[in-house]
Amino acid sequence: MRRIKPRGFFTQFSPEIGYSRTFLSSTTYIVDENNEVHINKLAGNDYLILSLGVGLGYDLEKTKNKPFAVFSKFNALMMYPYNSTLYLRSTIELGFIYKPKNFLRYNLKSKIKYK
């Protein structure tokens, strides 16, 4: 959710839900029932992510007619289930948005019939 002021300043609030797949950063071993050791490639975990973010930004398109915006955002992330409990972490985003002129712009074609 973003509120943009006429002068280009904006605030944003973003509740998010998502899926996270982590990958362990080092070799991961598994020992089977015969005590033989194997390497588990792509080892990691799947988590449900809930996130709340608040941020501030400035949209240059409003006043300077440039297709850019800059923003900063603070997110509180909650990963579940992390060892049967919740794992909390925070992130800070510093962002730059470029909005190409015709990107995702839909040209509406309509036919009007007069009777």
Partner 1 sequence: MKPYLLLIISLFLIISCQKESITIGLNVSETFYVQNEGASMRMLVEGNTKSNNFLLFVHGGPGTSSFFYNTDYISNHIEGKYACVYWDERNAGATQGNSNGENLNLNQMTEDLKKVIIVLKNRYGQDINVFLLGHSFGGLLTSSFMTTENNQTMLKGWIFAAGSHNYPLNDSLTRLMLLDLGLQQFALNKNIDKWTPIIEYCNQHTGNFSVEESNQLNAYASDAESYFDEVKKIDLLKIIQENAVKDDWPLTSILVNQRFSSQADFNQDLANTEFTSKLYKVTTPTLILFGKYDFICPSGLGDNLYNHISTNEKKISISPISGHNIFYQDESFFCNEVNEFIEKYK
Which residues in this chain contact partner 1 in the complex, by CB under 8 A?
22-31, 35, 37, 39-43, 45-47, 81-89
CB of 102 to partner 1, least distance (A): 19
Q: Are 70 and 58 in contact (CB under 8 A)?
A: yes
CB of 76 to partner 1, least distance (A): 12
Question: Residue 54: CB partners within 8 Å, gap ≥ 6?
Answer: 11, 12, 13, 14, 73, 74
Nearer to partner 1, 83 or 107 (CB): 83
Q: Are 3 and 54 in contact (CB under 8 A)?
A: no
CB of 34 to partner 1, least distance (A): 11
